Amino acid sequence: MEQDLSVKYDTFRREYTAGGLTREMLNASPIRQVETWLEQAVRADLMDPTGMVLATVDQDGEPRQRIVLLKGLSEDGFAFYTNHMSDKAHAIASEPRVSLLFPWNALERQIIIGGTAQKMSAAESADYFMTRPRESQIAAWASHQSRPITDRAMLERQAEDIRLEFADGEIPAPAFWGGYRVVPHRIEFWQGGEHRLHDRFVYRKGDEGTWQIEQLQP
C-alpha–C-alpha distance, residues 19 and 17, integer Å: 5
- Of 67, 78, 85, residue with least CA distance to 141: 85
How remote is the C-alpha of 6 from its chain's centroid? 32
Distances (CA, A) of 30 to 14, 37, 142, 167: 29, 10, 38, 45
N residues, the chain: 218
C-alpha–C-alpha distance, residues 64 and 92, integer Å: 11
Q: Which residues are catalytic?
A: 196
Question: 3-state class of 135 per DSSP?
Answer: helix
| Whole-number CA gyration radius for the chain | 21
